[in-house]
Amino acid sequence: MINLPPALMSPRFWTVFGAITCGSGVALGAYGWHGLGGDTEAQDVFMLAVQYQMWHGLALFAVAWRCDVTGSATGLSAIAGLSFLVGIFLFSVNLYHFAIVGEVLKSGAAPLGGFALIAGWALLGLSVIRRP
């Protein structure tokens, strides 16, 4: 049994964060496409960050659904959500910074963020296996 704050077990919490993540992804996508001028290399990096943010923002809706289905039975769904949030931040924010400024924000943060995203998917799958 994993003891997490009740807010993290709430489907509402994850739905709100999913909506914020996806909504900001749309805004950032518009900025990346229109605001980075003709620098196609920077646009490509920026849009990759947007894609990862959007896909994992949608994953937060799956976390909300799992929290609704399982309640506080295992907490693995909420830990998956936290892993997605950490991964989005470490991966996408570093790519956004690189595309805009031209230098890496924190060395090794993007690969660590990618690992957190992978871990989020594994934990989400495990939450289904452990508590269908």
Each residue's pLDDT tens digit, 23-61:
999 999 999 999 888 889 999 999 999 999 999 999 999
**Among 131, 95, 125, which Cα is nearest to 113's?**
95
Burial of 119 (0-12, 13-18, 19+ CB in 10 A): middle
Q: Is residue 45 domain-resident?
A: yes
Report the distance separating Cα 66 and Cα 75, nearest Å.
10
Host domain of residue 100: 7-130
Phi, psi for residue 124 in degrees, rounded to 5: -65, -45
- pLDDT per residue as tens digits for the range 72-112: 445 888 999 999 999 999 999 999 999 999 998 889 999 99
Whether residue 119 is contained in a domain is answered as yes
Number of compact structural domains in the chain: 1
Residue 1 lies in a domain: no
Whether 2 maps to a domain, the answer reads no
Residue 20 lies in a domain: yes
Give buried/exposed letters for 9-22 (b at 16+ CB in 10 A, else e). bbbebbbebbeebb
